Structure 1
Amino acid sequence: MNLDHLTYLVEVAKTRSISLSAKNLHISVSAISQAINNLEEIFGFRIFIRSRHGTIPTLEGEKLIEKSFSLLTHAEELKELAVSNNTKSSEITIASVPGLIHYTINVIKVIKDINPDTKIKVYGKNSLEILDDIKEKKFRFGLIWIYDELLMKNKELVFEIFHEVKITVCVSKNHTLAECKQLTIEDLAKETFVVHDEHYLKWYYDEFLKDNTNVLFTTNNLDSIRRAVSENIAITIGVDFVVQNEPLIQSGEVISIELYNPYHRPFFVGCVRNVFTQFTSADKKYINQLKNEIKLNNE
């Protein structure tokens, strides 16, 4: 029996499927099945039963899984303690969607104040890539856009909401919509868009705008989006939280207009971590600094 075997139990209890658990953990189905058989032999009772509802823990299995989860959590805390005390080789990785990297600068300053020798790596990725990396424990936490679809599909992760954001439309100062104070979905009919390759914005466009508008191109290159909008070739959508920091918005070359959509569901900025990853005291300082930075920029 080892910690990996206990991890298998917790994962199967969560997914109610050995095959799905094997996929999530990147191991074979037979490895999980063998581990469960070995544990059942050690403890002398069945841990799971198969039913039409999936692979379900027995009453004895539920108690074992609960204790396994607690043990795995404590084991993770011990790992974090070892990492936080190893100042010579300390390395921090920060994963963020591109629009939020701006807010990590003061966090980096806090990290350096605590330990000047800390090595820092900042990765810009989209929300789905960060979620996958968090699940595989490549990052301790990530800064992402949070919305109901992510929450429903990733219940094994821990989300912390910082601030609610709004969708805005960005147009050239020379565009016919530039004088508007607020826009509706109907106002954007037949407009040409350039869409940022962030999962949520692509989903938003496909859900609410695709049928009555045109797409010039989709990209993760912000400079291409800026040029297309500023030169009045296309318009785009973004979030108020990000576009307020755009130089073109601040200079007045591009205008940001609130998009009113009665069908829009709440959308937030926040962080995500693996359920087995416990924040160290240093992590909490980084997160609090981010919250303060976000609060100051939205007062």
Structure 2
Amino acid sequence: MNFEQLEYIKAIVENKSMSIASQQLHVTQSAISQSIVMLETELGVQLFKRSRNGTIPTEDGLWIIQKLMEILQKSNELKMDIQSKTATFSGKVKIATIPGIFMTMLPEALASFKKDFPLVHYAILEMENNQVLKAIEQKKADVGFISLTNESKSLENHLTYHPLNQESQFHLLVSAKSVLAIHSEIQLQDVLGESFILYGEHFYSNLMKGFEEKFEQINIIFQSYNPEVIKKSVAAGLGVSIVSKMMIEDDPYIESSRIKAIPLIGYPFNFSLSFGAIYDRNRSNYKLIQSMLAYFNK
């Protein structure tokens, strides 16, 4: 038994196909097949069988493969530990991120990582959630920082999700001079007569559309990707806005009492956003990415 065979088994299990596994690993299908047969002969157990559903583990193979994958995982963890302590990472990492993480967690974590690994350089793209997912799937970025939505929960098999152990609720931003500022919490139904300034194009718009289908139309006066424009407009009394709590941590507009952030309750903001990173574990720099992500949970 060798680790190459374990990588073959892992790819077959994930793809339920020996041919797809061979394409993914850039190894001929016959080479993988012969290697698996040799391992089965060594262990005295048939690990896989072909069916209409693809190449799937046999009943005996299920528990053996589980043990083999535990060995492979421990091996990869050991390699990562050794590399992080003895190697100097270098190269360029392309990062795609949503604004909330860009404004809060990303700068501090990257600065700490860069102190330890100064030869790593970055290119950062700020995007909406769905655009980050596409950038990773299309290999236009090495790592993406997202909020966990229904769309991002169904990741492709070759993508790994790394939770950042961070959650954020939604808040309504209002001018400190507004009568709404007296509220300690508020529902969207309570502010239907207000003008709204929305961040971005899709995420908040889709939530609002769902609300309008159940209740009534909302007056959206403009949308912007610039948080500074949004907060300045709210402070001036032009309208109200909705953001995640993460986007307004240590915010000067709130600290100077120019705007107030009121927790939103009720539909459609009766949930919390969870955040994480996604990356393709088949990319050559995935060990660098895994090491970098460890700095986000410190």
| TM-score, with length taken from structure 2 | 0.67
Q: Could you list the runs of 5+ residues in structure 1 that have no partner in the other structure?
A: 290-299
- Distance between the aligned counterparts of 1:234 and 1:135, measured in 2? 37
Shift, 1:135, TM fit? 4.3
CA deviation digits over 1:132-158, x for unaligned, max 9?
Answer: 3444565554332224x2464237442
Contact 1:9 1:65 survives alignment (8 Å): no
Q: Secondary structure at the match of 1:205?
A: helix
Shift, 1:214, TM fit? 1.8
- Distance between the aligned counterparts of 1:255 and 1:85, measured in 2? 49
User: 2:194 is aligned with what amino acid?
Assistant: E
Shift, 1:274, TM fit? 3.9
Change (3 A) 1:181 1:72: closer
CA deviation digits over 1:46-67, x for unaligned, max 9?
Answer: 85433xxx65736299799876
Give the equivalent residue in structure 2 for 1:203. Answer: 206
User: 2:297 is aligned with what amino acid?
Assistant: N
Aligned residue among 131, 134, 137 for 1:132:
134
Contact 2:165 2:274 survives alignment (8 Å): yes
- Distance between the aligned counterparts of 2:254 and 2:212, measured in 1? 23
Which structure 2 residues correspond to residues 30-179 of structure 1 after superposition, within 5 A? 48-50=50-52, 55=54, 57=56, 59=58, 87=88, 89-103=90-104, 104-135=106-137, 139=141, 141-147=143-149, 149-150=150-151, 152-154=153-155, 156=157, 157-179=160-182
Give the equivalent residue in structure 2 for 1:230. Answer: 235
Is 1:217 the equivalent of 2:219? no
Q: Could you list the runs of 5+ residues in structure 2 that have no partner in the other structure?
A: 38-45
User: 1:191 is aligned with what amino acid?
Assistant: E
User: 1:116 is aligned with what amino acid?
Assistant: P
Shift, 1:172, TM fit? 1.9
Give the equivalent residue in structure 2 for 1:294. Answer: none
Give the equivalent residue in structure 2 for 1:293. Answer: none
Is 1:240 the equivalent of 2:245? yes
User: 2:192 is aligned with what amino acid?
Assistant: A
- Distance between the aligned counterparts of 2:261 and 2:110, measured in 1? 29
Change (3 A) 1:6 1:161: same
Aligned residue among 288, 292, 295 for 1:283:
292
Shift, 1:97, TM fit? 1.2
Q: Secondary structure at the match of 1:178?
A: helix
- Distance between the aligned counterparts of 2:170 and 2:237, measured in 1? 20
- Distance between the aligned counterparts of 1:190 and 1:246, measured in 2? 27
Change (3 A) 1:70 1:201: farther
CA deviation digits over 1:104-144, x for unaligned, max 9?
Answer: 22223212321233323333222222233444565554332
Give the equivalent residue in structure 2 for 1:297. Answer: none
Contact 2:235 2:258 survives alignment (8 Å): yes
Give the equivalent residue in structure 2 for 1:189. Answer: 192
Shift, 1:79, TM fit? 9.5
Q: Which has more radius of gyration?
A: 2
Shift, 1:8, TM fit? 6.8
User: 2:207 is aligned with what amino acid?
Assistant: Y
Is 1:266 the equivalent of 2:292? no
- Distance between the aligned counterparts of 2:166 and 2:212, measured in 1? 25
Q: Secondary structure at the match of 2:278?
A: strand
Aligned residues: 272
Shift, 1:261, TM fit? 1.3
CA deviation digits over 1:44-97, x for unaligned, max 9?
Answer: 8985433xxx65736299799876998799789979987997647433444321
| RMSD (Å) for aligned C-alpha atoms | 4.5
Change (3 A) 1:281 1:205: closer
